[in-house]
A and B are shown apart, each in its own frame.
Chain A
Amino acid sequence: MGRPISKTIKDNAWSLGLLLPTLIPLVIFWIYPMIKTFHISFTDWNYISPDYDYVGLENYQNLMSDAFFGKVLLNTLVFTFFTVVPPIIFGLFVAIRLNKIQKFRHFFVASAFSSWITPTVVVSMVWVSIFDTDSGIVNYLLKGIGMEPVKWLGGQTTAMIVVIIVTIWQYMGLGILLLSSALAKLDPEVEKANDLDGGRGLRKLFRITLPAISPILVFLFIFFTLNSLKAYDQIYILTQGGPSGATSTILYYFYVLAFEYFETGPASALAMIFLVMCLLISALNFFLSKLLFTK
């Protein structure tokens, strides 16, 4: 136990020593690359050539006037819109039913949840087989009711529908798990309030259940939104962004620009725009939480 001052120095040294294994990789693989991406976004660098010129905001301006970027942005918004709310609603529907049974509850949750913890790449391959034009079960069922087989991954709209279905299916695993465990924690209180109010059915759902689990609803909404903005794996396996760009989303376009065309400057500008979008969603999360949950 030395004198107080040397003890403070020693404590600081210990803190720093224990933080360095985190701080060094953080700087090398997170902070430096982010600053560097910002820097590259103002250049015309193409990854291969040794030198580059500053082009100011040209990369950003080119993206803004690029019709394909507009299409990619629209695809991302459509994809996000259709993959965020449905799994929450379906998940809630299942979770409410799950909470009315005692036996095998765990088994049902586990079977639903397996969609969330299996690799997206692997399950996407299975979905390719399910929607296959000649051997898939979807077209088999369509034929059964006398309809023509559909080239699911070959059509612009149908390919997007398939990507959305696969994503909803994956999200539902997490939605069911979180919503049913949130409901299980609330149940006694909710039932009591319900008895006092005499509310039933939909009225009970909107007046008591939903407000009680609103933190988890907001969390799922934000989490799914960020995840959908970042969608890549399922698109890469199912459609490779096609047909003719119909399922290209922001991150997929980033991959193509950066790692297929080596257009490093424009790709970095795209990455910065993507970063701002994610920050906006995080800010929305912050304000929603402040608004709803501060007493």
Chain B
Amino acid sequence: MSLAKLKTGIHYAMLILLSVLMVFPFLWMFLISIKPKSEVYSGSLLPSTFHFENYIRVFTETKMLLYLWNSISVSLIVIVFQIFTAIFAAYVFATAQKRWVRYCFVLILATYMLPSAVTYIPSFILLSKANLLDTHIGYILSELISIFAVFFLRQSFAQVPKDVVHAAKLDGAGHLRLIFTVYIPYCKNAIASLVLITFIYSYNNYMWPSLLIKSEENMFVTIGLRRLFMSQAGYGMDFPLAMAACAISLAPMLILLAIASKRIIHSMANLYVNK
């Protein structure tokens, strides 16, 4: 009995150690963010006094608030487009048996396997010809669809029971009514997971938007933070300010984790396992 308890204790101790290692960068970020600048190089781990004013400085000395607004608002718009285009496409792929529909699906499947970097140069030229470089509209246009979302929803739509669909059809439901009164309500969990995943992906996205967005008032969090970080590299880094900005940029993720961590973890796990 006590041996078993000891074993459990060792397991917990190891896991606590491992999770401290995993979250260490976040702890470090927080510790630096509350240090006065003069203590960064002092060599002591803990600050002598807590300086939460670094967080206020992020808002007064940088445009972090604007970056946050840009990131969140553009991500939400992108989500709406990606989810609705995916719902319509997934409905057709899950229900229509025509040969041309299957060809379309193979085409999409083929594009899914190719790295998106291959599209960057022509897409960039296309947006520059349309005078949409450095605009949110240009970025949103290039992110209207998510091929991954189409696959994800097609799988859950295929699991909607045939008799439920049949009953709705007998009621005289057309395609749009089927989508909105049968498929969407039936797959609301899958759609909610997709919304979360799409938001996280869109908020974190960096390479493609950083090529498009160049002026400060249009920057997203990831691009703006990098600018803030690099602009200081020359004159001795203001690490407390930078780390406070990093911490603030993680706030949307922390809020999501706080309210929906079970769902995020569950959907991420199923996402990859059931593919």
Contacts and interface: CB of A to CB of B under 8 A. Distances in A.
A81 interface: no
Contacts of A229: 115
Nearest to B40: A135
A236 B111 CA distance: 26
A117 interface: yes
Contacts, number: 249
Contacts of A233: 206-207
Chain A at the B interface: mostly helix, strand, loop or mixed? helix
Chain B at the A interface: mostly helix, strand, loop or mixed? helix
A78 interface: no
Nearest to B210: A236
B104 A275 contact: no
Contacts of B125: 47
B239 A129 contact: yes
Contacts of A230: 115, 117
A22 B265 CA distance: 28
Contacts of B28: 126, 129-130, 137
A229 B262 CA distance: 31
Interface string B11-35: 1101100110011011011001000
Contact of A169 (B22, B123, B203, B269): B22
Contacts of A14: 175
B108 A117 contact: no
Interface stretch (B49-57, B80-88, B187-195): B80-88
B264 to A, nearest CB: 7
B98 interface: yes
Contacts of A121: 204, 206, 222, 225-226
A163 interface: no
B246 A126 contact: yes
Interface in A64-117: 94, 97-98, 100-101, 104, 106, 108-117
B173 to A, nearest CB: 13
A56 interface: no
Nearest to A185: B273
Nearest to A11: B96
B121 interface: yes
Contact of B265 (A32, A40, A97, A109): A109
A127 B25 contact: yes
Interface string B108-149: 100101111111111111100000000000000110110100
A23 B29 contact: no
A111 B15 CA distance: 11
A160 to B, nearest CB: 19
B150 interface: yes
Contacts of A219: 272-273, 275
B211 interface: yes
A264 B125 CA distance: 11
Given A111-B22, A126-B28, A272-B118, A97 B273 contact: no
A108 B19 contact: yes
Nearest to A275: B118
A199 interface: no
Contacts of A94: 15, 18
B268 A18 contact: no
Interface stretch (A189-197, A201-209, A251-259): A251-259
B22 A173 contact: yes
A42 interface: no
Given A178-B273, A216-B273, A97 B123 contact: no
17 contacts: A15-B92, A15-B101, A18-B89, A21-B145, A34-B118, A97-B11, A113-B268, A117-B268, A119-B206, A178-B269, A181-B273, A216-B273, A219-B272, A232-B206, A251-B207, A259-B124, A271-B121
Given A106-B265, A121-B204, A251-B117, 4 more contacts: A21-B84, A29-B141, A137-B45, A219-B273
Interface of B: 8, 11-12, 14-15, 18-19, 22-23, 25-26, 28-29, 32, 40-41, 43, 45, 84-86, 88-89, 91-92, 96, 98, 100-101, 104, 107-108, 111, 113-126, 141-142, 144-145, 147, 150, 175, 200, 203-204, 206-207, 211, 221-222, 225-226, 229, 237, 239, 242-243, 246, 249-250, 253, 257, 261-262, 264-265, 268-269, 272-273, 275
